[in-house]
Amino acid sequence: MKALTLQRYGSIDHLSLAEIARPAIKPDEILVKVHAAGINPIDYMIPKGMFKPIMKLTLPATMGSDFAGVVVEIGNRVRRFKVGDAVYGSVFDLDGGSFAEFVAAPERAVALKPLNLSFVQAAAVPMVGLTAWQAFKEIIQLKAGQKVFIPAGAGGIGTFAIQLAKQLGASVGTTTSTGNVALVRGLGADEVVDYKTQEFDQVLKDYDAVLATMRGDGLSKALRIVRPGGKAVSLVGPPDSKFAERRGMNVVMRLVFTLLSSKIRRLAKRRAATYDFMFVRADGAQLGQIGELLEAGRIRPVIDRVYPLAQAHEALRYLEQGRAKGKVVLQMVA
């Protein structure tokens, strides 16, 4: 089968479209013929080695995590799916990758594809959907009436997280450029700051939570708008010792992450707020719940561009520019 593989770390130029063996499935796995695969920022960060201390890949490795397709084979312990089922899921932080014609996925990481979505639309959901779900439901425990700040509202995570936060009854603040103000308001954003003309920390205040997709000064500014007792969850770091402990890392790595996160934790403490670094996990049961919202039309995926697998490099470079309105998707089956 054809697959986009990482040969060595350095840049996305070290990714190549290769002919590799179709993956063999384990008893608790299904084999999916991939119709479409969603691209996420981490897909251009991994080749650069940015997550090398955290994610242990055996090179050459097939890239990608999000997928939608049709089940063509099931392991003998699989009970929830059968051959021919249309499914979607994520293999993020698991063995294998989705930028390929076939992907092997654990049964627990997959859900039936929402009936009203195309394969391309469904492939755009898993990572952003699970990230928003786990951040809001598990870490922040977002409640109706609370205020959450979601920067970069027109991006892949932003377009989904705004909608989910509104479904949970929260008020949403976001940032975007002038041309995308109507888009994020249409998704439900209540307070919109045009970052080309205003600094969000000069406009927004008294937020209960932040779902941060920015580093450095941006994250520090986000903490300034959090009320005492609020929560900041970062998707890009710095990682903290709690994260290292959850992943079973050794004492040295826990110390390293403690040092890396010391500044932002101090800032959070001054605000009487908490800081958490979040690493999304694959979860088919949660995708099933997200699928119910999608089928009901209460949330919709926002897609910017669709590329064939042969143009994966071009797709990754486009996403890296940071101008995508919503998700970028690879399509394997027209």
Instruction: Write the pLDDT tens digit of every residue in 268-277.
Output: 899 899 999 9
31: which residues sit within 8 A by CB, 6+ positions away?
22, 23, 25, 71, 72, 73, 74, 102, 103, 104
Residue whose tokens read 């010792």: 241
Query: d(Cα 117, Cα 105) in Å, to the nearest integer?
Result: 21
In which band, very low, low, confident or very high, does the pLDDT at 216 lie, cut at 50, 70 and 90? low
CB 63 within 8 A of CB 6: yes
In which band, very low, low, confident or very high, does the pLDDT at 101 lie, cut at 50, 70 and 90? very high
> Average pLDDT of the chain?
94
SS3 237: coil
In which band, very low, low, confident or very high, does the pLDDT at 236 lie, cut at 50, 70 and 90? confident
Query: d(Cα 60, Cα 207) in Å, to the nearest integer?
Result: 44
HSE (side-chain half, CA atoms, 13 Å) at 274: 13
In which band, very low, low, confident or very high, does the pLDDT at 209 lie, cut at 50, 70 and 90? very high
Element (H, E) at 324: none
pLDDT of res. 215: 64
pLDDT of res. 58: 87
Average pLDDT over residues 207-220: 83
Query: d(Cα 326, Cα 154) in Å, to the nearest integer?
Result: 6
Please say if the pLDDT value at position 9 is more than 80.
Answer: yes
In which band, very low, low, confident or very high, does the pLDDT at 152 lie, cut at 50, 70 and 90? very high
The pTM assigned to this predicted structure is 0.94
Query: Comparing 323 with 173, which gets the higher pLDDT?
Result: 173
Query: Comparing 85 with 261, which gets the higher pLDDT?
Result: 85
Least confident of 244-253, 272-281, 309-318: 244-253
Please say if the pLDDT value at position 257 is more than 90.
Answer: no
Average pLDDT over residues 299-318: 97
Could you give the domains of the chain? Answer: 2-125+301-331 (3.90.180.10), 128-277 (3.40.50.720)
